[in-house]
């Protein structure tokens, strides 16, 4: 937490200068103000991470793997999206108990929040366990990562991202684009009979993960995780491409020893 405080302070200083130099109500001013709000939020998270746990927290020092996933995703339920928790264990073995690390909870929660901002209708958190590894992935059915964004993920830069009405409008447009052509009787509708999709309100690229992804990845890597990003599995034509962000640990790094 202390190591992250210095770059976070730099980001806040630069954002304040950008806000001061930008015309009021301009897109640049809005982005700078948003960055300041998010940086303050990150600072509060870092403050909590640097505090010593209370004695009572020892009761929750470890939890079942599925319980950890539920804890990460529960705060995001109740919105206009479907949330799923999936757990796969090789050989049908019972899932392990894992360390309830605040870095893991905050890091995965950030990935879920980002996925919810871009998802069309569904976000899932999926864990797979085999003899050597524990992998937890957050998958959404949104537009996915653009090829331009992927090499830069993890840099604390500012990019636009859909929120509120914009996110729901983009989700509706993506869902409409993924539907099969309307059938008239037994024949496909002609091109003229199918109205063209309106242009998206925002570019369909999951590129707003700069500062949030930087913080989340750093927290998870400090626990021994390897963080990877990629496609959510859609083909980008009949269904949205989607995004997948995964953290993988060697079992001893996350699993609670049974000895």
User: pLDDT tens digits, residue range 35-58?
Assistant: 888 788 777 777 766 665 554 454
Give the list of residues 6+ apart from residue 190 with CB closer than 8 angstroms, or none: none
Task: Look at residue 239 in the predicted model and tell me its pLDDT.
Answer: 63
- Given a contact cutoff of 8 angstroms between Cβ atoms, the answer to whether 242 and 137 are in contact is no
* HEC profile of the chain: CHHHHHHHHHHHHHHHHHHHHCCCCCHHHHHHHHHHHHHHHHHHHHHHHHCCCCHHHHHHCEEEHHHHHHHHHHHHCCCCCEEEEEEEEHHHCCCCEEECCHHHHHHHHHHHHHHHHHCCCEEEEEEEECCCEEEEEEEECCCCCCCCCHHHCCCCCCCCCCCHHHHHHHHHHHHHHHCCCCEECCEECCHHHCCCCCCCCCCCCCCCCHHHHHHHHHHHHHCCCEEEEEECCCCCCCCCCCEEEEEEEEHHHHECCCC
Task: Look at residue 111 in the predicted model and tell me its pLDDT.
Answer: 92
Rg (CA), the chain: 21
- Given a contact cutoff of 8 angstroms between Cβ atoms, the answer to whether 4 and 50 are in contact is no
Question: Residue 238 — pLDDT band, cuts 50, 70, 90?
Answer: low
Rounded Cα gap, residues 144 and 245, in angstroms: 11
Task: Look at residue 250 in the predicted model and tell me its pLDDT.
Answer: 96
- Given a contact cutoff of 8 angstroms between Cβ atoms, the answer to whether 107 and 42 are in contact is no
Give the list of residues 6+ apart from residue 245 with CB closer than 8 angstroms, or none: 111, 114, 115, 137, 138, 227, 228, 229
CATH architecture for the domain at 60-254:
2-Layer Sandwich (3.30)
Using the predicted structure, report yes or no on whether residue 213 has a pLDDT greater than 70. yes
Average pLDDT over every residue of 146-162: 60
Using the predicted structure, report yes or no on whether residue 77 has a pLDDT greater than 90. no
Domain ranges within the chain, ordered by starting residue = 1-51, 60-254
Task: Look at residue 88 in the predicted model and tell me its pLDDT.
Answer: 93
Condensed to tens digits (0 to 9), the pLDDT of residues 92-118 reads: 888 899 999 989 998 999 899 888 888
């Amino acid at each position: 937490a202390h190591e992250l405080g210095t770059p976070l302070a730099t980001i806040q200083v630069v954002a304040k200068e950008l806000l001061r130099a930008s015309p009021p109500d301009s897109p640049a001013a809005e982005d700078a103000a948003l960055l300041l709000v998010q940086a303050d939020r990150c600072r509060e998270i870092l403050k909590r991470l640097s505090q010593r746990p209370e004695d009572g927290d020892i009761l929750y020092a470890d939890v079942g793997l599925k319980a950890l996933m539920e804890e990460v995703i529960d705060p995001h339920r109740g919105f206009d999206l479907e949330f799923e928790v999936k757990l796969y264990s090789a050989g049908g073995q019972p899932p392990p108990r894992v360390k309830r690390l605040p870095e893991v909870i905050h890091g995965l929660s950030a990935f879920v929040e980002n996925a919810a901002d871009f998802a069309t209708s569904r976000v899932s958190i999926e864990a797979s366990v085999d003899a050597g590894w524990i992998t937890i992935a957050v998958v959404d059915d949104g537009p996915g990562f653009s090829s331009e964004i992927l090499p830069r993920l993890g840099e604390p830069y500012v990019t636009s991202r859909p929120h509120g009405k914009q996110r729901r409008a983009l989700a509706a447009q993506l869902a409409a684009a993924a539907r099969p052509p309307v059938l008239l009787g037994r024949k496909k509708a002609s091109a003229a009979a199918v109205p063209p999709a309106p242009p998206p309100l925002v570019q369909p690229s999951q590129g707003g993960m700069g500062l949030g992804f930087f913080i989340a990845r750093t927290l998870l890597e400090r626990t021994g995780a390897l963080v990877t990003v990629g496609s959510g599995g859609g083909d980008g034509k009949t269904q949205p491409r989607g995004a997948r962000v995964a953290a993988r640990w060697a079992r001893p790094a996350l699993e609670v020893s049974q000895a």
